[in-house]
């Protein structure tokens, strides 16, 4: 059985874990939390922003994320199809700065 779903990944166990094994904690802003598998507390509760340069243009696309490291695996950038601010970018590509390639 396959389905597209989010999974909870444990860095210390190097395995997926179920929802009942996850301690969900609400934080208000930048907070240091002790995380199993890490010697020092980890900074959580922050949103990082970065920009992809649009290929053949001076435009950029700003991406906001709580997990900046995941951008290394980005294979595409999506915008809401009905958002007028991004309609001019439909069908364009952006340049991935680390992988040195263009992605849709």
5-54 residue pLDDT tens: 778 888 778 888 888 988 888 888 899 998 877 899 988 888 999 999 99
The pLDDT of residue 1 is above 70: no
CB 98 within 8 A of CB 72: yes
Q: For residues 74 and 101, give the distance between their C-alpha atoms in angstroms, rounded to a whole number.
A: 11
pTM of the model: 0.65
Average the pLDDT over 62-89 and give the result: 91
Which one has a higher pLDDT value, 77 or 14? 77
């Amino acid at each position: 059985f396959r389905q597209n779903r989010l999974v909870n990944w444990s860095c210390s166990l190097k395995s997926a874990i179920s929802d009942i094994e996850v301690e969900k904690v609400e934080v208000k802003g930048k907070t240091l939390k002790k995380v199993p598998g890490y010697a020092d507390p980890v900074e959580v509760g922050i949103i990082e922003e970065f920009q992809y340069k649009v290929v053949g243009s001076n435009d950029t696309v700003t991406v906001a994320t709580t997990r900046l490291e995941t951008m290394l695996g980005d294979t595409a950038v999506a915008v809401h199809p009905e958002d007028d601010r991004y309609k001019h970018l439909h069908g364009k590509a952006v340049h991935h700065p680390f992988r040195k390639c263009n992605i849709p």
